[in-house]
A and B are shown apart, each in its own frame.
Chain A
């Protein structure tokens, strides 16, 4: 290498680095800015792609069909995180001040990234909507003013799972002596359900076995060997990404009765069951919305986003479980902005105003119908103290071709979960010198 090329490289590097300093192109003043942390690459891409498409399609639909939220368009920008916490934080820092008023809200779609952003939210004044993931304790709005995890949380979900098992077994008193195993992703996310399952094990007397699977979860032989020995009556799983398909395959491999194997709502998407083929038939998972593309909102997306091209929409995962979940999450975000507009006027809003909108969000059955989502999910009302609402869950089952609902809406155990949430929130407040606000 001679001096000339060296100098050239050095100059090139300098120019390049100085270029990074410039921020992305400024957005028009009159638009809501919603940043999107997505993962279209990496080991979690099979889950990340339908989610990213769902968000994109719903915001595009709102812009194309309604001309924005009450006439104010939504500007959105994707940033690739690979489901990696560090990249997620980098994306957050990059996008948080974009737009005229900064980011309206963040949907991290990763429990790890959510944990990182929770302490930043009150400082940057940008709310976080971690819909059914993230830190469960954030449901206590008195401590976690800026974080929302409605319509329901991991802890509520675990309690509803126990309720479901009781239903199937014929009553809560029948739980005594049952063997229940929890197969979980060995991370902050996977561990979330453990405390609830432990508390309920003590209360109802079932035997709980906790089985951790290390990231990313491709190797689970040891776990399933243990299950073969243990022969649990029910298995609950908190998995994500490639871990789910491997677990379903392994369960099929040891001929575990699939209808006693229930995933949480992140372990029940199409990509999780298809690789296991026929073996996956009968596998169940929790969810808080319906699967399939049979709702009016899907017709609208096909019409306005894909110009009627159904095949193209299919290619973009329309109707898949995670796609639908992202559509619902996008809908919550848009409705929160709409609620905030009711107070602050029809203009582009920043994080502080959208936080008010999230906290006062009242999603009624009538509103869901207007949105073309009647029966798609459940209505709920957020309040200052309760950022979760503890909504019910529903169990879906894979029949080899599609997911179908096999239960009614199963209530969560608010009386057990809420005191746990309050205790955890109080501990967090103490550790971080936060004075809970009055609600």
Chain B
């Protein structure tokens, strides 16, 4: 009834190619973004620090992996490693050039991560599927081993831990312990909003289409004139750039200090699960998947005391793990194409509401 595009005529190519061709969608998205920016007014520090900031950062990483796995079809388990490159390089850059804006340091670190991704993407020209996953696994282990082994990366700190030094932006503390959660939240949100939009446009254009062609059938893609070499490597580079930026923010805006353990294989897996549950080949799916993986366990931990159930903490944890696991299975059975697909179905149903046929 409300959600219907009747009467909205497209009179130009521009209008026809919009990301959100339906007016109601545009309004909804704009309202959602504005609301996201207003969240610090009502959310307390626990919400921002423990729930929303990691959710936004992991959304960014999930978008990065989705570009590579969902769009270009290259399975990767090296996400944690590429994020570590971002985190450690941001640290190196900002400690070497303290006057450089830390956000620029994050972007530069993203570029370095892109280079590293390029190198580890080279095997993708020869191997595919699960075998490629194993090759990227090597990136994961090698990078963490390197940061653990070589003192230069951690400025020879005896414990091998990097700590985000205090840095300001326009006179406001943005990293370090003095930086307030709302400020860090807004920075992370801005990064995500900008890069999500960039990714959306990327996958709608020539590059994204060539990725999808490679994903769907690489020989056919080659025949129609897409060069697999450049296309695959570009996917690795851009994906690693996203992961690198996410890694920089992970250390500087969320953790505050980190050792390599923060980027272990579990992180790579959880980002991969985010895009599988959220929806492969969907930018929205990356964000929804990140929300599911980061928020549901926190909700499950906090739920029993809220409804007045008091139980031993270890039992509660075990129940949380079981429920979370069954929820994942449930979602995958009900909709194997992810939460993003559910969202799409909901929208289609809503267009017919209240008179479905």
- Whether, in the assembled complex, B45 has its beta carbon less than 8 Å from a beta carbon of chain A, the answer is yes
**Interchain CB contact (< 8 A) of B95 among A3, A45, A93, A431:** A431
Contact with A along B37-60 (1 / 0, CB 8 A): 000000011110111001000000
9 contacts between A and B (CB under 8 A): A1-B342, A20-B51, A40-B312, A78-B313, A82-B317, A89-B50, A116-B256, A119-B177, A135-B159
With A40-B314, A188-B160 known to touch, is A22 a contact of B306 (CB < 8 Å)? Answer: yes
Give per-residue flags for B337-357: 1 if the beta carbon is below 8 A from chain A beta carbons, else 0: 000001001100110010010
Number of contact residues on A: which range applies? 35 or more
Q: Give the residues from 258 to 285 in chain A that come closer than 8 angstroms, CB to CB, to chain B.
A: none
The proximity string for B residues 160-192 relative to A, scoring 1 for CB distances below 8 Å and 0 otherwise, is 110101100000000011100000000000000
Question: Do the beta carbons of B158 and A424 come within 8 Å of each other?
Answer: yes
Write the nearest CB–CB distance from B278 to chain A, whole angstroms.
15
For residue B255, give the distance in angstroms from its CB to the closest CB of chain A.
6
Query: CB < 8 Å: which of B159, B176, B303, B313 contacts A119?
Result: B176
The yes or no answer to A186 lying at the interface (CB within 8 A) is yes
**Contact call A16/B299, Cβ cutoff below 8 A:** yes
Q: Distance (Å) between the CB of A133 and the closest chain B CB?
A: 12
In the complex, which of the residues B159, B305, B317, B356 contacts A188, with contact meaning CB atoms closer than 8 Å?
Answer: B159
Known: A40-B313, A41-B318. A19 touches B353 (CB 8 A): no
* Interfacial chain B residues near A41, Cβ < 8 Å: 314, 317-318
Closest residue of chain B to A21 (Cβ to Cβ) is B47
- Residue total for B at the interface (Cβ-Cβ under 8 A): 50
Inter-chain CA distance A78–B262, complex, in Å, is: 23
B349 touches which of A3, A21, A122, A188 (Cβ 8 Å): A3
Query: Is A26 close to B, CB under 8 A?
Result: no
Distance, CA A223 to CA B295, complexed state (A): 39
| B313: contacting residue among A20, A38, A90, A215, CB under 8 A | A38
A-B contacts at CB below 8 angstroms, number: 123
- Decide: A20 and B298 in contact? CB cutoff 8 A: yes
Known: A115-B159, A116-B256, A186-B148. 20 other contacts (CB 8 A): A1-B335, A3-B346, A20-B51, A21-B44, A21-B47, A40-B313, A40-B314, A41-B314, A41-B317, A80-B301, A80-B316, A85-B261, A85-B262, A86-B255, A90-B298, A112-B261, A135-B159, A188-B160, A191-B159, A215-B261
Q: Looking at the assembled complex, report how far the CB atom of A17 sits from the nearest CB atom of chain B, in whole angstroms.
A: 6
Interface residues in A337-360 by Cβ distance below 8 A to B read: none
In the complex, whether B231 has a CB less than 8 A from a CB of chain A is: no
State whether B177 touches A431 (Cβ < 8 A). no
Q: Are A17 and B295 CB-contacts (below 8 A) given A116-B256, A119-B163, A212-B148?
A: yes
Q: Which residues from chain B contact A435 at a C-beta distance below 8 Å?
A: none
Q: Within the complex, what minimum Cβ distance (angstroms) separates A187 from chain B?
A: 6
Which of chain A's residues have a CB closer than 8 A to the CB of B301?
A: 80
A194 at the interface (CB under 8 A from B): yes
Closest 4 A/B residue pairs (Cβ): A119-B177, A40-B314, A188-B159, A90-B50
Q: Which of A78, A120, A432 has the most CB of B within 10 A?
A: A432
Question: Is A94 part of the contact surface with B, judged by Cβ < 8 Å?
Answer: yes
The reply to whether B50 and A93 form a contact with Cβ atoms under 8 Å apart is yes
Q: B345 is contacted by which of A1, A186, A195 (Cβ under 8 Å)?
A: A1
B218 interface residue per 8 A CB criterion: no
As a 0/1 sequence over residues 147 to 168 of chain A, the CB contacts with chain B under 8 angstroms (1 = contact) are 0000000000000000000000
Are A24 and B305 in touch, CB under 8 angstroms?
Answer: yes
Does A123 touch B at the CB level, under 8 Å? yes
Measured between beta carbons, the chain A residues less than 8 angstroms from B47 are 21
Q: How far is the CA of A45 from the CA of B262 in the complex (A)?
A: 19
Could you tell me the distance between the alpha carbons of A228 and B165 in the complex, rounded to whole angstroms? 43
Complex Cα distance, B298 from A123, in Å, reads 25
Interface membership of A6, Cβ < 8 A: yes
* Chain A residues with CB under 8 A of B159: 115, 135, 188-189, 191-192
Closest B residue to A420 by beta carbon equals B158
Q: Which B residues touch A89, using CB under 8 A? A: 49-50, 255
Which residues of B lie under 8 Å from residue A186 when comparing CB positions?
148
Which parts of B60-94 form the interface with A (CB within 8 Å)?
none
* B46 to A, closest residue via Cβ: A93
Chain B residues whose C-beta falls within 8 Å of the C-beta of A428 in the assembled complex: 163
Which of B161, B295, B298, B335 is within 8 Å of A115, CB to CB?
Answer: B161
